Amino acid sequence: MIIGRITGTVVSTVKIPALENHKLLYVTPTAPDGKVSGKSVIAVDTVQAGVGDLVFIIDEGGSANLALNSSGLPIRTIIAGIIDEISIAERKDV
């Protein structure tokens, strides 16, 4: 899974029938400290996320298809959850 920030929406007036009821969002991968950490992707929204939300995405192809129960559809990336908070414990070397 990858942490990302929703940075935009994607409007597609023509889609395959299986995607007609799904919103597409533009997601920018983000490190826990908020810095951009990769190339942006278009993801299928499964959790009603919106622009500005911090989310976690599944960018694994087959795993994304399984999460949508849509095996065989050309879906690579889905938004699987909205992140409320990230807490990272301070590492102490022994």
DSSP symbols for the chain: -EEEEEEEEE--SS--GGGTT--EEEEEEB-TTS-B-S--EEEEESS---TT-EEEEEE-SHHHHHHTT-TTS---EEEEEE------PPP---
The pTM score is 0.81
Cβ atoms 4, 56 nearer than 8 A: yes
Burial of 83 by CB count in 10 Å (0-12 exposed, 13-18 middle, 19+ buried)?
middle
Q: What is the pLDDT of residue 26?
A: 97
Can you tell me the mean pLDDT for 53-80?
A: 74
Q: Is the pLDDT of residue 42 over 90?
A: yes
> What is the average pLDDT across 34-50?
93
The predicted pLDDT at position 89 comes to: 82
pLDDT for res 9? 97
Per CATH, the number for 2-82 is: 2.40.50.220
